[in-house]
Amino acid sequence: MKLKNIILALTLCFSQLVLADDSSALQNIIFKHDGLKADFSQTVTKADGSLVTKSSGDLALKRPDNFILNTTDPDEQVLFTKQNEVWYYDAFVNQVTIFSKNDLYTSPFLLLTSRDPKVWASYTIEKNGETYTLTPSKKGEVNSLSLTVKNDTITSIKLKMKDGNINHYELSNQSYEVSDSVFNYQVPKDAQIDDERRSN
């Protein structure tokens, strides 16, 4: 084997080891605690930096697979897991959309609740300073997810979307004691239902 090829092979091997270390380091941080609860402020900007919208609310997760993202301002919108399903409720139109959880495990937020090696293996993970960038191998609505970690605490979550928009969540008031009751969100009985599981 030529020296050039040997160097290339060693470089690729070293890169893969570094990426594996980055993945392990991030998982150690995420799974250090069984739960996380925080307030968030969200901004959505276009690729050119212009502001699309701002919102705020709170989120919580608890392993093995409980998650809720509750937007309270300017309008109530709730994304939450329920057994093997993911529910998205929009109070403005009083409609709930139901998805199969298995179909949404490519969602970066659900990734934070999963210890499944196959799920993590579907992402390339690189660390730059305090930020871990996760790029899914399967292209979808999210091009990449960036987590900023300070003192083993996630302080920011940034999603770069397929359409060029950037969703940026700044977290505050983080805590790790999360009650199961946080995930018992009740959708109004008169809400319209859009069952996306039927189309899969």
Query: Which residues, 6 or more positions from 91, have their beta carbon under 8 angstroms from its beta carbon?
Result: 75, 76, 77, 78
Q: What is the CATH number of the domain that holds 133?
A: 2.50.20.10
Choice among 3-7, 80-84, 95-99, 134-138 with the minimum mean pLDDT: 3-7
Whole-number pLDDT of residue 164: 92
Contact call for residues 183 and 176 (beta carbons, < 8 A): no
Task: Find the domain containing 92 and state its range.
Answer: 3-199
- Among the listed ranges 14-28, 91-105, 122-136, 144-158, which one has the minimum average pLDDT value? 14-28
Number of structural domains (the chain) is 1
Phi, psi for 11 (deg, rounded to 5): -65, -45
| Element (DSSP H or E) covering residue 78 | strand 77-82
pLDDT, tens digit (0-9, with 9 covering 90-100), for 61-83: 888 878 898 999 999 999 888 88
Mean pLDDT value of segment 124-146: 88
14 pLDDT exceeds 50? Answer: no
Instruction: Kindly indicate the confidence band of residue 31, based on its pLDDT and cuts at 50, 70 and 90.
Output: confident
User: Which has more pLDDT, 156 or 102?
Assistant: 156
Q: Rounded to 5 degrees, what angle do the CA atoms 144, 196, 200 make? A: 80
Tokens 């529910």, located at residue: 87
Q: Tell me the pLDDT of the chain averaged across its residues.
A: 82
Residue 131 predicted with pLDDT over 80: yes
pLDDT of 34 = 87
Selected residue with higher pLDDT from 63 and 5: 63
- For the cut 70, the answer to whether the pLDDT of residue 198 exceeds it is no
